[in-house]
């Protein structure tokens, strides 16, 4: 549900930025999250990530029945997505967690999960190193914790119509809300400082060299497999090359520089309660790990029931 008071804070952004109604599921996503831009029927808003898609006014969003949240497209924005306690410490260590406040999106009850949004200057945008497609877009991830069932990371992204950030409304899977604190409101949106931007660019250069095999090669001899729009193992959601079998029981997850599956797992070890590690193979076009959907034993099922009822 959208609130008029919150929506009003976005009024000054509606012309220069692309605001989007949010409430659909990403195609092929295995978990219902309702974090994608939606059309009036609640389905995916096709072409939301194309420059031709213009933004919605605050008034239009207020009257948009299927929207449970509002997103802002990252055409001119830079975002630090902090995911977890170790990510929170790391962003401070890096020198990107302090300074003057900027627009920050938090979630009710989740202290260490938040997004800092910045508005880089033209000069700062120009200094972004081109990616493999020659575009000055930012997208990489710095992992800060890699344990079997929990991975934490800072994700850096920006200057791309291909991403949007949810800034208001309902967080579907927890039924919490996206919130902002006083001093971290939309009106506080600021450019990164020279020092902050230098840190971001240094890391970007380090991560820009990722080579991803072409999809045709990845799916060769795997005719009924599909590429995952968002891999549940490594969370890769761009230049997607992780794939899932037609019966949805097996995932092949690519080891890239920016996204990669947990390493050091033993055969049969289950991660995220769902996927059992099977093997890792070096192929001519890259390294892939195979995960198979875990069938819980009757004892595990009993334990889960006891945990839920207790």
Question: Please, which residue, 68 or 253, has the CB nearer to Zn ion?
Answer: 253
Q: Are the beta carbons of 156 and 91 closer than 8 angstroms?
A: no
Catalog residues that contact Zn ion under the rule CB under 5 A. Answer: 231, 233-234, 236, 242, 253
Question: Please, which residue, 12 or 226, has the CB nearer to Zn ion?
Answer: 226
Question: Please, which residue, 169 or 232, has the CB nearer to Zn ion?
Answer: 232
Residue 152 tokens, joined: 């934490």
Give 295's contacts (C-beta < 8 A, 6+ positions apart).
none
Residue 231 tokens, joined: 């891999």
- Within 10 angstroms of residue 45's Cβ, the number of other Cβ atoms is 22
Question: Please, which residue, 10 or 231, has the CB nearer to Zn ion?
Answer: 231
Q: How far is the CB of 111 from Zn ion (least distance, A)?
A: 28
Q: How far is the CB of 199 from Zn ion (least distance, A)?
A: 27
Q: How many residues does the chain have?
A: 310
Q: Are the beta carbons of 290 and 278 closer than 8 angstroms?
A: yes
Q: How far is the CB of 255 from Zn ion (least distance, A)?
A: 9
**Distance (Å, whole) CA 38 – CA 293:** 30
Query: What does the radius of gyration of the chain's CA atoms come to, in whole angstroms?
Result: 20
Q: How far is the CB of 280 from Zn ion (least distance, A)?
A: 12
- The 3-state DSSP class for residue 69 equals strand
Q: How far is the CB of 232 from Zn ion (least distance, A)?
A: 8
Q: How far is the CB of 228 from Zn ion (least distance, A)?
A: 7
Question: Please, which residue, 13 or 241, has the CB nearer to Zn ion?
Answer: 241
Give 279's contacts (C-beta < 8 A, 6+ positions apart).
267, 289, 290
Residue 258 tokens, joined: 């920016």
Question: Please, which residue, 97 or 261, has the CB nearer to Zn ion?
Answer: 261
CA distances from 30 to 17, 105, 244, 255, 272 (A): 30, 25, 10, 21, 14
């Amino acid at each position: 549900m959208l609130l008029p008071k919150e929506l009003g804070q976005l009024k000054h952004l509606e012309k220069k930025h692309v605001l989007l109604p949010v409430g659909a599921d990403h195609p092929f996503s295995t978990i219902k999250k309702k974090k994608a831009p939606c059309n009036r029927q609640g389905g995916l808003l096709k072409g939301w990530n194309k420059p031709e898609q213009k933004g919605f006014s605050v008034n239009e969003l207020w009257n948009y029945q299927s929207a449970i949240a509002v997103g802002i497209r990252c055409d001119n924005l830079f975002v630090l997505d902090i995911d977890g306690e170790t990510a929170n410490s790391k962003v401070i260590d890096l020198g990107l967690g302090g300074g003057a406040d900027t627009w920050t999106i938090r979630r009710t009850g989740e202290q260490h999960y938040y997004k800092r949004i910045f508005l880089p200057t033209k000069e700062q945008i120009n200094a972004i190193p081109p990616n493999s497609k020659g575009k000055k877009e930012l997208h990489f991830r710095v992992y800060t914790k890699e344990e079997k069932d929990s991975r934490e990371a800072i994700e850096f992204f920006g200057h791309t119509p291909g991403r949007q950030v949810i800034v208001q409304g309902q967080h579907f899977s927890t039924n919490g809300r996206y919130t902002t604190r006083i001093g971290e409101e939309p009106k506080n949106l600021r450019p990164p400082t020279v020092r902050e931007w230098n840190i971001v660019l240094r890391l970007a250069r380090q991560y820009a060299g990722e080579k991803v095999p072409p999809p045709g090669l990845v799916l060769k001899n795997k005719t009924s497999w599909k590429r995952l729009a968002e891999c549940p193992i490594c969370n890769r959601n761009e230049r997607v090359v992780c794939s899932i079998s037609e019966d949805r029981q097996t995932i092949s997850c690519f080891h890239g520089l920016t996204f990669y599956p947990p390493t050091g797992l033993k055969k049969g070890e289950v991660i995220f309660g769902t996927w059992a590690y099977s093997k890792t193979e070096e192929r001519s076009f890259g390294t892939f790990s195979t995960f198979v959907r875990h069938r819980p034993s009757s004892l595990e099922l009993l334990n889960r029931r006891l945990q839920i009822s207790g």
